[in-house]
Amino acid sequence: MATMAECRTALDRLSDNLASADGDVRGAAALNRSLSCRVTDLDVTFTGRLENGRITVLDTHQGPPREKAEIRLAMTGDDLVAMVDGELNFASAWTSGRVKLEAGFRDLLKLRSLL
């Protein structure tokens, strides 16, 4: 099972990956939205912002998100680390229910290019 530190490192690496992306991925990541990532097996939520192509984690707390972020992710720590490492395809994990992504309709349309 991934640790909280490994999950935080994975989020930082994901942010770096988004910031260095080109084309459609860069455009999709250019949103300015609140973001939460709930790591279900650790019962911890990272909250922050997706802004200018980067993820900035502002807070970490036990339990579910305290406020409803505009973009909400939920998955196990192992799945988060595997996705960032390129070992787990986000689209297949999302369609199988291993990863949950909730956002407004327009944001989902924009984020689909990340899949």
Half-sphere exposure (Cβ direction) of 83: Cα atoms closer than 13 Å:
24
Residue 60: strand pairing partners: 46
Q: Where are the domains of the chain?
A: 4-114
- pLDDT of 66 over the 80 cut: yes
CATH superfamily, domain at 4-114: SCP2 sterol-binding domain (3.30.1050.10)
Distance CA 25, CA 21 (A): 6
Global pTM value = 0.90
pLDDT digits (tens, 9 = 90+) for 1-48: 999 999 999 999 999 988 887 776 666 677 899 999 999 999 999 999
